[in-house]
Amino acid sequence: MPTALITGVTGQDGAYLSRFLLEKSYEVVGVMRRSASSDIIGERLRWLGVIDRVRLVEGNLTDLGSVVRIVQTHQPDEVYHLAAQSFVATSWQQPSLTGLVTGLGAVTMLEAVRIGRPQARFYQASSSEMFGKVQAVPQSETTPFYPRSPYAAAKLYAHWMTVNYRESFGMHASSGILFNHESPLRGIEFVTRRITDGVARIKLGLTDHLTLGNVEAKRDWGHAADYVEAMWLMLQQDQPDDYVIATGRTMRVADFADMAFKAAGLTMADHVRTDQALMRPAEVELLLGDPAKAERKLGWKARVKLEDLAAEMVAADLARLSR
Ligand code: NDP
Ligand code: GDR
C-alpha cells in the first residue's frame, strides 16, 4: 500500500485529495497545525466522511524540524504540498507571513523530503495567480509570469524552487499551475463561496442583499474534485514536469453570481451591491488557462461545468443554513 503525505490536509484540496487517494487504497498521512479550535479541525474531512481514515499528525511549515520528523517517520512515496496562506486579499495585510508560509514553506517541505525521503515524488501547489497582469491569453506553461500580489510573488518563489530542486538534486518534483477551483468545501472568504452562501441566506430570508468587490474580474473556474486527480496524475509520470490545469473557459464574477442566483430561482440584479472597500490594491483582471499539455500528457480534462458547480454549491449552502 503506497503512503501519501499531504500538507494542508484540513483545507479544501486536502480533503478532496485525501478521499481520492483513500479510494485508490493509499495510506494517507495528513499534516495539520495545532489550533485552539481543535474541535472544528478536520471539518472538511468529516464532511467527506474520511476523517477516521486519514492519519493526522501535527506539524507546521514554519518549523523545519516538525516536518522533517514527519517525513522520516512515515517514509511517504508521494508528498503533496498544499499548505499555504492561500487568500490573496490577506496577503497584502500579512505579506511577511505569506512569504514565510506560502513561499519559504515550500522550501521547508522540499528540504524535509531531501533529508528524510529523497526518492519520494513531490507535488507543489502552484497557481494561475503567478500569471498576474495579463501578458497573453490563454495562459500556458510557456506564458511569462507577472505576479500582482504578495501571495503570487510567494507562489512564484515556491514554483521556481521546486524547478530548482528537480534540476539540482534530481528530485521527482512537479508543479501544478492550477487555475481557480471551487466546491462546497471552499473557504467562505473566496468569492464563489461568498456568493453561494449569500444566495442561500437571501433565499432563506436571513438577509436581502450581497455586497461584492470587482465583479468584472474574469476567472477560469473548475471543480476541486476534478483538480486533485490532476495532482495525482502528475506524480504517476516517469518524468517530473509542470502542468497548467484549467477548464479553458473564463467567466466574470458577475456571471458566476448570475448562475448562483438563477440556481436558487432568484434574480441577481435585485440583490447584489458593490463596494469599493472590497477592491484589491492590484487586480488580476483575466485568467484563462490552456490545459492542452495536461490533456495530451496526463489524459486529464475538467469534467464539471461551471453552471453545475454553482448549483451544487448553492444546494450545499442551503442545506447547511437550513440545518
Ligand atoms: P485552503 O486555504 O483551503 O487550505 C490551506 C491549508 O494550508 C489549510 O489546511 C491550512 O491549515 C494549511 N496551512 C496554512 N498555514 C499553515 C502552516 N503554517 N503550517 C501548516 N499548514 C498550514 O487552500 P486550498 O485547499 O484551496 O488550496 C490548496 C493549495 O493550492 C494552496 O497552496 C493554494 O494556495 C493552492 N491553490 C489553490 C487554488 C484554488 O483555486 N483553490 C488554485 C491554485 C493554487 P488550517 O486549516 O489550519 O488553516
Ligand atoms: P483568487 O480568488 O484571488 O482568484 O485566488 P477569490 O475568490 O478570492 O477572488 C476571485 C476574484 O473575485 C473578485 N471579487 C471578490 N473576491 C472575494 N474574495 N470577495 C469578494 O467579495 C469579491 N468580489 C469580487 C476578486 O477581486 C478576484 O478578482 C484563488 C485562491 O484560491 C488562490 O489561493 C489561488 O491560487 C487562485 O484562486 C488561483
Report CA torsion sign: 263, 182, 34, 153: negative
Alpha helices in the chain (DSSP H): 12-23, 43-47, 64-74, 88-93, 95-98, 105-116, 150-169, 191-203, 224-235, 253-263, 292-293, 306-322
CB neighbour burial string for 66-104, b if at least 16 within 10 angstroms, e if fewer: bbbebbeebebbbbbbbbbbbebbbbeeebeebbbbbbb
Residue 74 in marked binding region: no
Look at residue 41 in the predicted model and tell me its pLDDT. Answer: 83
To the query of whether residue 151 is one of the catalytic residues in this protein, the response is yes
Look at residue 130 in the predicted model and tell me its pLDDT. Answer: 98
Look at residue 40 in the predicted model and tell me its pLDDT. Answer: 81
To the query of whether residue 167 is one of the catalytic residues in this protein, the response is no
Nearest CA to ligand 2 atom 26: 214
To the query of whether residue 43 is one of the catalytic residues in this protein, the response is no
Which one of 66, 86, 127, 183 is the catalytic residue? 127
Ligand 1 binding pocket, CB closer than 6 Å: 7-8, 10-14, 33, 35, 60-62, 82-86, 101, 125, 127, 178, 180-181, 187
Look at residue 135 in the predicted model and tell me its pLDDT. Answer: 95
- ipTM of the complex as predicted: 0.99
Domains and CATH numbers, the chain: 3-181+221-245 (3.40.50.720), 187-219+250-288+304-322 (3.90.25.10)
Contacts of 272 (CB under 8 A, 6+ apart): 209, 210, 211, 212, 215, 254, 257
pLDDT in tens, the chain (323 residues): 999 999 999 999 999 999 999 999 999 999 999 988 877 889 999 999 999 999 999 999 999 999 999 999 999 999 999 999 999 999 999 999 999 999 999 999 999 999 999 999 999 999 999 999 999 999 999 999 999 999 999 999 999 999 999 999 999 999 999 999 999 999 999 999 999 999 999 999 999 999 999 999 999 999 999 999 999 999 999 999 999 999 999 999 999 999 999 999 999 999 999 999 999 999 999 999 999 999 999 999 999 999 999 999 999 999 999 99
Look at residue 37 in the predicted model and tell me its pLDDT. Answer: 81
Grid cell for residue 8? 494542508
